[in-house]
Amino acid sequence: MKKTKANQIYKKILDFWINRYGKENLDREKLKALRKMLNLMPDEDGMKRVTNMETGKTYLVPIEDIILNGLKGEELTKYPEKTK
């Protein structure tokens, strides 16, 4: 992923976690791992392509939604469908 996009996503996640848990309660090693994971992701736009195996439709899900909230199959339809 492009560094600027990875940094934007990292900042959103970090701000969310600071508000929820407090800065002093965050694990620095996990934050480093998160940054590394974001930088290594192949999707340049910050969206993860997730395919519903029953319908075969692919949806574009923001990576920060997956990290912060998880993802259930029945929630896929609230995200935009990937067009060819």
Condensed to tens digits (0 to 9), the pLDDT of residues 29-74 reads 999 999 999 999 998 899 999 999 999 999 999 999 999 999 998 8
Residue whose token pair is 């319908």:
55
Please give the pLDDT value at position 43.
86
The per-residue pLDDT for range 5-41, each reduced to its tens digit, is: 999 999 999 999 999 999 999 999 999 999 999 999 9
Count helices and strands in the chain by DSSP H and E runs: 3, 2
How far is the C-alpha of 30 from the C-alpha of 77, rounded, in Å?
30
How far is the C-alpha of 41 from the C-alpha of 64, rounded, in Å?
13
Please give the pLDDT value at position 1.
85
Question: What are the backbone angles phi and psi of residue 82, rounded to the nearest 5°?
Answer: -75, 130
